[in-house]
Amino acid sequence: MEEASWNLINPFSLLLASLGYCYFLLTRIPLGILRFMFLLPIFYLFSILPWYFPSALLRGILSFFITWIASSKLLLFCFNQGPLVHCQNFLDFIAISILPMKIKAQPTSSRSTMGRYEPVQLFNKPYLATSLQDFWGRRWNRYASNILRETVHKPTRNMLTSVVGVEPARVLALICSLVVSGVLHEMLFYYITCGKKPTWEVTWFFALQGLSMAFEAALKKWVRTKGWTVHPLGSVILTCGFVVVTFYWLLVLPVWRDGRNSCDC
């Protein structure tokens, strides 16, 4: 019993110690590459935290919220960006790092510490999406979408704009964001399936979504030049149907084929 309790306490103690290092020491390091270098050990620790748990569900949750999202927030923090720059104390830093929450723009007068926070909306009726851009950009897992927008899309778009122009840079940044999302989802399934070698079907799913979104945007522009319109209900059926079919083909089947509920960690 004591050993089991220690196995549960240990990873959370490691998580809190890591966040304490970031808040009390990392903030004293100059912004930029130097702060990023001091953050590398934390990225490693966050990458091993899910292995403390034998449950596939817990490994999946921890790898999403800690290995991916919290690491991304800390990466943005290195360059004075992202939600962590608004934290006023260590409790703020813990809550915003590991939970889908943000500090309210105008905190309430409540004495409760939690009164300063508000949850980040995860989903916004994705079954009503009228396009792939609407589905992935505004309705499905907005928490991850916002992080990808800040860590991948904006830097890529800004870097490419002067090279290829505004519109091509936007399209390439979109595709790049979804490919990175695919690789990160491969990481999640790597934890869920006990370290099984990736088949890259998950990455192909997101790459396909990105390419389809670029094709969809070009098609919609062409349709407008013809003066044609598509009924909103038809747009919803086509969008959701495409996502469901490709999701089942490239995400559900690999997990069912390779997944295991527990493994020796």
Question: Domain end: 119, 154, 169, which one?
Answer: 119
Q: Does 251 share its domain with 154?
A: yes
Tell me the one-letter amino acid at 50: P
Tell me the one-letter amino acid at 150: E
Is residue 92 situated within a structural domain? Answer: yes
**Chain position carrying tokens 């306490």:** 9
Is residue 111 situated within a structural domain? Answer: yes
Is residue 263 situated within a structural domain? Answer: no
pLDDT tens, residue order, the chain (265 aa): 445 444 555 888 899 999 999 999 988 999 999 999 999 999 999 999 999 888 888 999 999 999 999 999 999 999 999 999 989 899 999 999 999 998 887 655 555 586 788 888 889 999 999 999 899 988 999 999 999 999 999 999 999 998 888 888 998 998 899 999 999 999 998 898 888 888 888 888 998 998 898 888 888 888 888 787 778 888 899 999 999 999 888 777 766 665 555 565 5
3-state secondary structure of 222: helix
Q: Does 144 share its domain with 50?
A: no
**Chain position carrying tokens 């799913």:** 205
Among 53, 89, 67, which Cα is nearest to 186's?
67
Domains identified in the chain, total number = 2
Q: Does 107 share its domain with 151?
A: no
Is residue 43 situated within a structural domain? Answer: yes
Q: Does 251 share its domain with 143?
A: yes
Q: Does 168 share its domain with 251?
A: yes
Q: Does 73 share its domain with 182?
A: no
Q: Does 145 share its domain with 87?
A: no
Backbone angles phi, psi at 179, to 5 degrees: -65, -45
> How far, in Å, CA of 188 to CA of 192, rounded?
6
Instruction: Tell me which residue range forms the domain holding 182.
Output: 126-258
Among 87, 82, 53, 3, which Cα is nearest to 265's?
53
Q: Does 9 share its domain with 56?
A: yes
Question: Domain end: 88, 119, 150, which one?
Answer: 119
> How far, in Å, CA of 249 to CA of 251, rounded?
6
Is residue 96 situated within a structural domain? Answer: yes
Q: What is the pTM of this model?
A: 0.85
What are the distances in angstroms from CA 175 to CA 71, 170, 182, 247? 22, 9, 11, 17
3-state secondary structure of 101: strand
